[in-house]
Chains A and B, each alone.
Chain A
Amino acid sequence: MARRAGGGGRTPAAWAVAAALLLAAAAAGPAAAEAISGPRLDYVLHCMGCHLEDGGGAPESVPTLEGFGRFLQIPDGRAYLVRVPGSAHAPLDDAALAALLNWMLVRFDPTRARAPEFRPYEAAEVTRYRAVPLADADAERRRLLRVLDGDPSGDR
């Protein structure tokens, strides 16, 4: 087919132009998959399935990560972000979990993560919090949110 169609009088130059166009089209095709590594890879593999790429989560089921740095405002909240099952149960050692949480804070709550008072998680701190699993993570979350919203009944 190609011979007949092209045999009429297409010059080598025409072929070269066609080939160049094809190459350009190929180059403009789907971009190569990017490399993912470090805490971002851990987020993709262990969190993103439910929390989604933008941290938006799912309505009434997976809380949004947007602004989740507010939990850092109270000590129990700082512990909660480690003790919450999604963190505590991730198949990561304590240093990797600390790095993941710090990356998430920068990614999903950049204002708080760049504030001068921001103190990143360290491995030893994660070890301490992780050693005490939450029996009722949902109740703890509700309690902390009440405290953060200024409701004194939320405090123990």
Chain B
Amino acid sequence: MSRSETPSWERHLDRWAEAAARQLARGLSRRSLLGRLGATLAGAAALPLLPVSRVSAASSDPAPAAPEGLDGPEGDPSSCQYWRHCAIDGFLCSCCGGSHTACPPGTVMSPVTWIGTCRNPADGRQYVISYNDCCGKHLCGRCLCNRNEGDRPAYLPPKSNDINWCASAPSTVYHCSTAIVLGVATES
């Protein structure tokens, strides 16, 4: 730990700022703010992915990243609110030396994982997302993100993001998580 150089209060301020930003991005808009706005918006609170939450997420992001990917602007893959992260639980590999589709240097991608779907607001399609974990180095510790659309308890492993999916990797030590597009889920 090389943190001893930094004064204690500064570390804690950093930590607070991080926690506060996380809180803003994750919950403030949906719970506290709407709660305070009162009963008129109570119904709206039940809707997932409120515009407010995207606005607050955008405002807490330091710099909007360039559009990338499939079909027009989609936001910042290192942001928790990024559409592919609708059911991710862990550190975003794009903040850890990897990307949202690739593991950081020197880690190993677990082949075994769980797979879900997320809706891309840019094109309205449901994409099949594979949340492969990157393994073999200790916790990345950056961009912790927990979203749970369609997440189920650990007794349903194929749908559970609480599980460390490094379980079948050469080292089960968890480092970060990716969100890889496998295809577009289409009604037959």
Does A153 sit within 8 A of B, measured CB to CB? no
A:77-116 near B, CB below 8 Å:
89
B83 interfacial contact with A, CB 8 Å: no
Interface residues on B, range: 20 to 34
Given A49-B112, A49-B113, A35:B186 Cβ within 8 A: yes
> How many residues of chain A get a CB closer than 8 Å to chain B's CBs?
20
For residue A137, CB closer than 8 A to chain B, the reply is: no
Tell me how far the C-beta of A53 lies from the nearest C-beta in chain B, rounded to whole angstroms: 9
Considering the chains assembled together, what is the distance between the CA atoms of A36 and B158 in angstroms? 18
A-B contact count (CB 8 A): 59
Tell me the residues in window 104-141 of chain B with beta carbons closer than 8 Å to chain A beta carbons: 111-117, 127-128, 130
Q: Within B29-74, which residues are at the interface with A (CB < 8 Å)?
A: 70
Chain B residues lying within 8 Å of A61, measured Cβ to Cβ, are 112, 168
Which residue of the partner chain, among A33, A45, A62, contacts B115 with CB atoms under 8 Å? A45
Interchain CB contact under 8 A, A34 and B183: yes
B184 at interface by CB-CB < 8 Å: yes
Q: Is the CB of A62 within 8 A of B158?
A: no
Cα A38 to Cα B183 with chains together (Å): 13
Residue pair A41, B186 in contact (C-beta under 8 Å)? yes
Contacts of A45 in B (CB 8 A): 115-117, 128, 158, 185
Q: Does B181 sit at the interface, judged by CB under 8 A?
A: yes
A41 x B112 contact (CB < 8 A): no
Q: Is B5 an interface position by the 8 A CB rule? A: no
Other A-B contacts than A34-B183, A49-B115, 8 sampled, CB-CB below 8 A, are A33-B184, A36-B184, A36-B185, A41-B128, A41-B188, A45-B116, A46-B158, A50-B157
B residues whose Cβ falls under 8 Å from a Cβ of A: 70, 111-117, 127-128, 130, 156-158, 168, 181-188
Q: List 30 A-B contacts (CB under 8 A).
A: A32-B70, A33-B184, A34-B183, A35-B184, A36-B128, A36-B182, A36-B183, A36-B185, A37-B186, A37-B187, A38-B188, A44-B115, A44-B182, A44-B183, A45-B116, A45-B128, A45-B158, A46-B158, A47-B158, A49-B112, A49-B115, A49-B130, A52-B111, A52-B112, A58-B111, A58-B112, A58-B168, A61-B168, A62-B168, A89-B156
Q: A residues bordering B, Cβ < 8 Å?
A: 32-38, 41, 44-50, 52, 58, 61-62, 89
